[in-house]
Amino acid sequence: MKQDPGPATRGRRRKAARPGELTAAALSLFAEKGYAATRLEEVAARAGVSKGTLYLYFDSKEALFKAVITEGILPVMEQGEATFEALRDEPDRLLKAILAGWWEMIGSTELAGVPKLMIAEARNFPELARFYYEEVISRGRALVEGALRLGIEQGLFRPVDVPATVQVLMAPLILLSIWRTSFAVCDADACRPEKYLPAYFDLMLSGLRVQPQAGA
């Protein structure tokens, strides 16, 4: 039988876990209510701590939001960058892995509430929008753009307007993510990932690959 570690040890563990508990509670509330409508006392209550305890770790709602991004989304960007280096000799696999990874780790999870929130509230909170743009959007674009350029250089993808194509490739995944957290209550069948994603990747890769010449 496991021995109870005692109140002092439990308290230390509880204190050590609090920043993660606070960012998890904040993510949940930001996704439910948006940034503007979420109050710090609500975050503290959901995490099961006092508002004063929250302020030991985060001195403002902006700091708390940035922590949500840093802890939840930046690791996804780092994993995408590692994937880029591992698959740079296979641009078609690389491109699919980057986009599928975004869906699996952000779009299909509670983190999907963050892109939705930023689309809705970026104009009202330009400093947060700039932080999100620089730390997340720009890095995500660079990964997709890099995969496209590798594919073109290696003769696998046909020449395309790369910056425009980056936007075109990312938009359907963002739509799927937003639909899942909004209009799915009205029409769940319109964007079912198990049907939507295979169609998306098929069209994407078929449209990008160099087609063999007739009679070749």
| C-alpha of 12 from chain center | 31
Confidence of residue 12 (pLDDT cuts 50, 70, 90): very low
Give the relative orientation of helices 74-87 and 61-72 as an angle to the nearest 10 degrees: 30
Give the tens place of pLDDT for each residue, 103-134: 999 999 999 999 989 999 999 999 999 999 99
Determine contact, residues 61/25, Cβ cutoff 8 Å.
no
Model pLDDT, residue 14: 47
Could you give all domains of the chain from N- to C-terminal order, each with its CATH number?
Answer: 7-69 (1.10.10.60), 73-208 (1.10.357)
The DSSP code for 54 is H
Using alpha carbons, select from 118, 27, 110, 115 the residue that is nearest to residue 64: 27
What is the spatial distance between Cα 23 and Cα 62, in angstroms, rounded to a whole number? 12
Stretch 192-213: mean pLDDT, rounded?
A: 92
Burial of 162 (0-12, 13-18, 19+ CB in 10 A): middle
